[in-house]
Structure formats: structure tokens, C-alpha cells
Amino acid sequence: MLSVFFWEYLQNLPIFAGFIWGYVLWSQGRQELAVPCLIAGSLAGALLIALTESRKSKGHREPALVVIANGAGMAVIMVAMVGYLSALWSSWLTDLLIGVLAGVGLGALQSLAAREKISLRHCVALGSASPLALIAIRLILKIGWSTWANILAAALLATLIIGFLDYAPKSSKLFRSA
């Protein structure tokens, strides 16, 4: 299980690096730099997932369509999330709804791109991690940590949630029917 967390964390790092740096740039009014940063983090994350997913799930290979869907889907979600977090009306309460929708949407997109049945387990994992990651990002950005500390902390939180929910043993009572 430790190996799963290592690879999941490695996969999450470019995604959260792109997101946090994109948010910082967006907050400074530098959207022309923020958007490419968000896209780069999404694409790097999608490629890293494709290159390392077999380390977590033996024999698994990401089809090209899934890599493209991951990169494009995450880029769209990340740009929308940075805009959302910058909106005056957003709050930790709306993070719950928006995060669940984004996470479940990405999980469903990944299954559809793989031409597989939508994975309830994976959608639950991403739908649980996304709102908590949004709330955590909202909180850690107010603490005053360095940007890299924020990236490492946000990636760690998402990794722990996704790791436990998505990669817990299939015999776990939590997912007997999934």
C-alpha cells in the first residue's frame, strides 16, 4: 500500500503545482500566465499518470484516449476552479458542492474515455478528495506558507484520500458493492 501512496503522490504533484501556481498568478491579475500554468500542470499530471499507473495497478496501461481526456478534463476543471476560488461568492460550503461535481465528473470522464463502465469507487474517491482539497487549499493559502509548502500539503491530502478510497483492498466493507 505504501507503494501506491508514493506513486499517487508523485502523480498528484504536477497537478497541484500547476493549480497552486496558477491560483497565485491569477490572484495577482496575471491570468495570461496562470492559464498556461494550469494547463501545463494538467498535461504533466496526465502524462505522469500514464507513465506510472502500472506501478499502482499491475499490468494497467492508460489508453491514449484516457491520457487526452485526463489532460483536457483536468485543464478545464483547474481553470474553472481557479476562477471559482477567486469569485467573491465562493466559500467552503460551495466548495463541497463544486468539488463533488468536479471530482465525480472527472472520474466519469476517465471511465468513459477508457470505454468502461463508470467506476463508482473511483468517482467516490475523486468526489471525496476534490471538495476537501478545495477547502484545504482555501485554508492553507491563508496560513502564509510558501507556495511549495502549499503544493506539498495539498497533494498529500488528495493522495491520502484517493489512496484510501480508490486503492483500499477490494474486501474492504466500505466498497463491497462497488
pLDDT digits (tens, 9 = 90+) for 28-74: 999 999 999 999 999 999 999 999 988 887 777 888 999 999 999 99
pLDDT class of 171 with cuts at 50, 70, 90: low
Number of domains comprising the chain: 1
DSSP one-letter code for 88 = T
The pLDDT assigned to 172 comes to 52
How would you label 97-111 residue by residue, b for 16+ Cβ within 10 Å and e otherwise? ebbbebbbbbbbbbb
How far is 169 from 17, CA to CA, in rounded Å?
29
Q: Which domain holds residue 133?
A: 2-175
Selection from 27, 68, 1 nearest residue 150 by Cα:
27
Torsion of CA 12, 6, 152, 125, to 10 degrees: 50
pTM: 0.85
pLDDT at 159 over 70: yes
Angle at 164 between CA 162 and CA 170, to 5 degrees: 115
pLDDT of residue 170: 63
